[in-house]
Chain A
Amino acid sequence: MLIDIQHLNYTYPSSGGVSVHALNDITVSFEAGSFTAIAGYSGSGKSTFVRHLNGLLRADSGDIRFQGESIYGKKYPISRLRQKVGLVFQYPEHQLFCRTVLEDAAFGPLNMGHDRETAEQMARRALERVGIGEELFSSSPYELSGGQMRRVAIAGVLAMGPEVLVLDEPSAGLDPYAKRQLFSLLKEMQGEGVTIILVSHSMEEIAEYADRVLVFYGGRICMDGSPEEVFSNKEELDRIGLEMPQIMECMWRIREAGIPVEGLSCSEAAAEELILKAMKGGSDA
């Protein structure tokens, strides 16, 4: 296992009022090269969880093992972990702090000990991969649009060449074209062996791209499985306030209307086939 997490608990320190037990006995592991999506209502602990993956937050109890080694060990090089586990924050403006776009994307490689030239080379490549053109390289990150900021933030992490890429709602604020571009990039990276962990509120995205879904509910993982498995459990989804992806919902309704569709699927092509088959079956009889 690449990442192995045991009984993780975390409570936000509070000043007065009630303290929030944001993670509650989380046990889960991630395989190298997998594409895992994390879903759950707002405030269910997704961002808190991903902040533990690169050691930004330290659990109150429990353990995280990365490549077999506990990241809470005394001598564990936490800054090296953060280069291997790249985290793209939920709010891109929280991630950018340099004067120019290029400098910002080169910040990670520079910290890894590359010289300026190599670092800029890596930054350029990463920026190109996310579709930021040369003309923006010398502008201030704060002067970009939301979607552009998001892409620069992703590039800053990509430039470090992480083995695990954790993205917290990366598609928020992107136009449909940029979204598709982003996901084909993620798929491409998965092909190169990078492990992807993606927080998302879009069931369609999850259904289309992820191999596995974790559903958070009140700081716990309440569902874990393939998108088909998770999304076909309608009662549970209703209880925790999530929805099926539209295609699946569509099949569900067709079935409710009395046409016997066999199984539920998340992919458009498979769904079409199943529906057509059911319709034909219906007309034969």
Chain B
Amino acid sequence: MLRDITIGKYYNGSSLIHSLDCRTKLAGALLYIVSLFFVKDPILFIPCLVYLLILYRLASIPWHYILKGLRSIVVLLVFTFVFQSLITSGRELFSIGFLSVSYEGLMKAIRLVSRISLMILMASLLAYTTTPTQMAAGLEKSLGFLEKLKVPVHEMAMMVSIAFRFIPVFIEEVNIIMDAQASRGVDFYSGNVFRRMGKMMPLVVPLFVSAIRRSAELAMAMEARGYTDAGNRTRYRELIYTKKDRTAYLISILMFLLILISGLLL
């Protein structure tokens, strides 16, 4: 249920990965995800996975969090796998009735599913170790050069970070309203899928009403503390690269090149 969403949720910690500059992490994650597209031979996904697991270990994220992130897309993964292995034609491995699975299909399915899983895991790692605020700050700084082209980068970053900020607010709000309705006799957990979906409908209007109320309150609180969009804003925590970041960049780029080259060769 909504209560159990962990994907995209910050995991509080003070590990090495947590302490990296978020631009480093952003670049590292991007490089990794791009490099995955060059992998053809499924065997190569194993070192990719190992690299990822090492990063998770360095970030001190409990193992079950890795699976938690994937659980929400397990249906997608299964679908992809089955579809890919069935629709691709080639050397037949075995067949069940009129459905036949080819060697090429199976390879393609494994490749696709591994790629999606690894991408999601890397993105989750980024989200587990970087707060939305840091993420927005990192984006703002990385895209700062666009200011010169009169793109309102700061305002956009503020909007993005507030949007992120509202994800937990939304989840909390849904829980509050569900509790309130459940306390007065709505049973969200019985009945078939359609009946249960029907019971979700009365959540929508109150959810939006309270989200709008919350955002009005937030705007008021920001203005009460003197927020305007004018002027050059300084940060409470400046983003500064340290030696750790340089090492991390180096490792990310090396890993990228390694995967890229072996992907092209194999």
Contact = CB atoms under 8 A, between A and B. Distances in A.
B181 A97 contact: yes
A183 interface: no
Nearest to A94: B176
Contacts of B205: 99
7 contacts: A16-B11, A79-B186, A97-B177, A97-B206, A98-B206, A108-B185, A160-B184
Interface of A: 15-17, 51, 54, 56, 78-80, 82-83, 86-87, 89, 94-99, 107-108, 111-112, 142, 156-157, 160
A227 to B, nearest CB: 28
A157 B9 CA distance: 35
A98 B179 CA distance: 14
Interface of B: 6, 9-13, 176-177, 179-187, 190, 205-206, 209-210, 213
A89 B184 contact: no
Given A79-B182, A79-B187, A97-B181, 6 more contacts: A15-B11, A79-B190, A95-B183, A96-B180, A108-B184, A160-B185
Contacts, number: 61
A52 to B, nearest CB: 13
Given A16-B12, A16-B13, A17-B12, A82 B184 contact: yes
A87 B12 CA distance: 33
A149 to B, nearest CB: 12
A89 B9 CA distance: 27
A252 B37 CA distance: 78
Contacts of A16: 10-13
Contact of A111 (B176, B179, B185, B210): B185
A98 B190 CA distance: 23
B182 A82 contact: yes
B187 A78 contact: yes
Nearest to A87: B183
Contacts of B176: 94
Give the residue among A17, A86, A94 with the most B Cβ atoms within 10 A: A94
